[in-house]
């Protein structure tokens, strides 16, 4: 028979609720909580046009991260906690940097870039995601805009030891002023012969750089066949979609993450509407076939649990009871029952029942 574990007589779990403990402990140190991971802003630094890097100090409840992963930051504004996902760079055991680009109309991003101040506190969820760089294979990193943030984390980690194979980073911005981590990336390349950094502007210079769907991706003096490269792409949804269309079937491996929600499908197979049944409540809705399930539910006043809205964190996952869905980024269809569906990046193709 297993023993029953009871709280120690002197354990705070026995005498205080977590919220009460957090309140009183926070009077001494804002990062002292009973269970909740928290982070305090140490400093805010400019990071390219319209962007800022926030250096955060985490408490002991944060479990850490691997290079390339994401975290969800809880930011309290006007009495509400708003959650946004970012790809941080680990600076130390309990210190990390999050770089944010201000988005027009983005309440959280504009606050973090322009108004966050040292001492501000944030909730910090567990790290998630499996974006990773192969250790001993030729790699092609493709980044646009804020898509550079996971690449920075991956490169800093990889360059702690000699790179065993060629790594090329192609990084697109609209203008030279918008580049993030320019000096740091160039310093990493100078110290690592196998790393080359290519900075490309699409709206400057006599001949603006070609976009991902038409750039040569050729590197002078390197004869590594494209078919041997492992590709990691990160940027807006359109950038990732173009990279996938061009390269996914031509390279040794292809990983991609988009930091904007996927666009609705517009081909013939995505026209019309279907019936969506929510199994737990029995509610039946009529929703468009080409739009994400999350957006369709929100449009009808339903607020399912969700996180990153990019198909990475799995917060919005629920089980399929019946019907078929289509992945908005890959185009893959899935109809097996009892299989998790990420509703932020899935659209219905037939009448559908979800365990919601």
Please write the tens of the pLDDT for every residue from 283-334: 999 999 989 999 999 999 998 988 888 888 888 999 999 999 999 888 889 9
Record the pTM: 0.80
Rounded Cα distance, 145 and 139, in Å: 20
pLDDT computed for residue 326 by the predictor: 92
What is the per-residue pLDDT across 123-172, written as a single tens digit (0 to 9) for each?
Answer: 998 899 999 999 889 999 999 999 999 999 999 999 999 999 999 999 99
- E strand intervals along 114-225: 121-124, 139-144, 167-173, 195-201
pLDDT reading at 105 higher than 80? yes
One DSSP character per residue, 70-112 reads BEEEEEEETTEEEEEEE--EE-SSSEEEEEEE--TT-HHHHHH
pLDDT bracket for residue 230 (50, 70, 90): very high
- Report strand pairing: 121-124 vs 139-144: unpaired
Sequence-ordered list of residues with C-beta below 8 angstroms from that of 205, at least 6 positions apart, any chain: none
pLDDT bracket for residue 1 (50, 70, 90): very low
Outline where the chain has alpha helix (H).
12-15, 18-28, 107-114, 148-158, 182-191, 237-247, 293-299
**Tokens 């000699």 belong to residue:** 162
pLDDT bracket for residue 4 (50, 70, 90): very low
pLDDT bracket for residue 267 (50, 70, 90): confident
What is the per-residue pLDDT across 171-223, written as a single tens digit (0 to 9) for each?
Answer: 999 999 999 999 999 999 999 999 999 999 999 887 899 999 999 998 877 88
């Amino acid at each position: 028979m297993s023993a029953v574990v009871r709280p120690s007589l002197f354990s705070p779990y026995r005498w205080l609720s977590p919220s009460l403990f957090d309140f009183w402990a926070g009077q001494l140190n804002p990062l002292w909580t009973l269970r909740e991971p928290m982070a305090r802003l140490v400093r805010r630094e400019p990071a390219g046009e319209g962007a800022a890097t926030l250096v955060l100090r985490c408490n002991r409840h944060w479990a850490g991260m691997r290079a390339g992963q994401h975290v969800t930051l809880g930011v309290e504004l006007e009495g509400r906690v708003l959650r946004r996902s970012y790809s941080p760079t680990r600076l130390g055991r309990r210190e990390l940097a999050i770089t944010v680009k201000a988005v027009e109309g983005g309440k959280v991003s504009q606050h973090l870039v322009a108004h966050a101040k040292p001492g501000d506190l944030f909730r910090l969820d567990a790290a998630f995601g499996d974006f990773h760089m192969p250790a001993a294979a030729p790699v092609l990193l493709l980044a646009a805009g804020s898509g550079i943030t996971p690449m920075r984390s991956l490169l800093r980690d990889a360059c702690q030891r000699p790179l065993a194979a060629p790594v090329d980073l192609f990084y697109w911005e609209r203008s030279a002023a918008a580049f993030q981590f320019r000096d740091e990336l160039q310093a990493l390349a100078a110290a690592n012969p196998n790393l080359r950094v290519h900075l490309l502007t699409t709206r400057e210079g006599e001949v603006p750089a070609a976009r991902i769907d038409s750039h040569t991706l050729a590197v002078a003096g390197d004869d590594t066949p494209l078919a041997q490269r492992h590709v990691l792409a990160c940027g807006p949804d359109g950038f990732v979609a173009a990279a996938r269309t061009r390269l996914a079937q031509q390279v040794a491996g292809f990983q991609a993450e988009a930091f904007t929600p996927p666009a609705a499908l517009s081909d013939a197979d995505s026209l019309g509407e279907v019936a969506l049944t929510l199994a737990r409540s029995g509610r039946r809705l009529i929703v468009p076939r080409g739009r994400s399930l999350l957006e369709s539910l929100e449009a009808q006043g339903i607020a399912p649990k969700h996180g990153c809205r990019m198909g990475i964190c799995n917060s919005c996952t629920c089980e399929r009871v019946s019907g078929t869905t289509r992945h908005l980024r890959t185009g893959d269809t899935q109809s097996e029952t009892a299989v998790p569906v990420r509703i932020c990046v899935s659209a219905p193709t037939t009448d559908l029942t979800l365990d919601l």
